[in-house]
């Protein structure tokens, strides 16, 4: 009986992960349409690159344990909203808000939550726009809403966040104070860079289409 229960649980969890792969596919299609249409209409591509991941079973279980949730598929599905994750990197701050707007104004996209860490950075200096979106995935049983965490940030924010993540990992969360301080200062330098690059861009391209867009390299999602 216990073995049968375990099998069902395992089957349900792998189905859950599969649904989250599907929601990523749905959202990547939407993002790629927006990107191509922007390029076609405005000769401007607001997106630099996109990466996506589905949480590994191990890190999902770790999070379930950390949050002290029961191993119940419905609880996990509703409580853990970042099983699917997409990270979009843009050149400029204005682009991050623009991309978020374009995505969230679509009829079949429901906004569960938005956290604006660009306007309100975390104390360590972390900046990014986070949106928990719910999108229908069309399964054999019919449309099924599935959530995905979309993080949108500039190249400078992404550079900072990936280094900070590596440093945290290296020190297993116990980062020496001196490094923490240095990191918070570099976050400010990254913000200055963003502001200055945006000003420079506005000065050079004031109202004029970006003709370099068509020369971009292809990127992988
Ligand atoms: P991974 O491996 O990237 O998925 P929760 O999602 O419940 O754990 P919270 O605070 O409600 O936590 O969510 P929040 O603030 O929206 O942040 C979730 C994700 O944002 C993290 O996912 C990171 O990807 C990123 N993030 C948030 N804060 C920081 C930060 O200070 N530095 C860096 N580098 N990234 C951050 P995970 O699950 O932690 O990791």
Query: Token pair 């860079």 is at which residue?
Result: 193
> In a 3-state reduction of DSSP, which class is residue 154?
strand
The second-level CATH assignment, the architecture, of 2-214 is 2-Layer Sandwich (3.30)
Spacing, Cα 115 to ligand 1 middle (Å): 11
Q: Please answer whether residues 45 and 216 qualify as being in contact, where contact means their C-beta atoms are separated by less than 8 angstroms.
A: yes
Question: And the tokens for 103?
Answer: 């995505």
Which residue's alpha carbon is nearest to atom 17 within ligand 1?
130
Question: And the tokens for 206?
Answer: 């004031």
Q: CA-CA distance, 221 to 16, in Å (whole number)?
A: 21
Q: Enumerate the active-site residues.
A: 149
Strand 129-139 versus strand 142-154 pairing type: antiparallel
Tens place of pLDDT per residue across the chain (221 aa): 888 888 998 899 999 999 999 999 999 999 999 999 999 998 889 999 999 999 999 999 999 999 999 989 999 999 999 999 999 999 999 999 999 999 999 999 999 999 999 999 999 999 999 999 999 999 999 999 999 999 999 999 999 999 999 999 999 889 999 999 999 999 999 999 999 999 999 888 775 655 554 445 555 54
CA angle 57, 63, 69 (to 5 degrees): 110
CA angle 201, 102, 164 (to 5 degrees): 65
Which residue's alpha carbon is nearest to atom 14 within ligand 1?
130
């Amino acid at each position: 009986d216990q073995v049968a229960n375990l099998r069902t649980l395992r089957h349900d969890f792998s189905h859950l992960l599969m649904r989250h792969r599907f929601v990523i596919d749905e959202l990547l299609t939407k993002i790629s349409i927006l990107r191509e249409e922007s390029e076609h209409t405005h000769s401007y591509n607001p997106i630099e690159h996109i990466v996506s991941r589905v949480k590994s079973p191990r890190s999902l279980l770790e999070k379930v344990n950390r949050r002290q949730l029961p191993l119940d598929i419905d609880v996990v599905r509703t409580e853990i909203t970042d099983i699917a994750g997409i990270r979009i990197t843009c050149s400029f701050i204005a682009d991050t808000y623009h991309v978020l707007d374009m995505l969230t104004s679509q009829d079949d996209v429901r906004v569960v939550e938005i956290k604006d860490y660009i306007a309100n950075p975390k104390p360590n200096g972390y900046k990014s726009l986070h949106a928990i979106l719910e999108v229908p995935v069309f399964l054999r049983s019919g449309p099924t809403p599935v959530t995905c965490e979309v993080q949108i940030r500039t190249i400078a924010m992404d550079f900072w966040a990936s280094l900070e993540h590596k440093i945290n990992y290296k020190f297993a969360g116990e980062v020496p104070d001196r490094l923490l301080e240095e990191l918070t200062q570099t976050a400010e330098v990254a913000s200055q860079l963003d502001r200055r690059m945006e000003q420079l861009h506005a000065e050079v391209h004031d109202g004029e289409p970006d003709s370099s867009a068509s020369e971009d390299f292809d990127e992988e999602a």
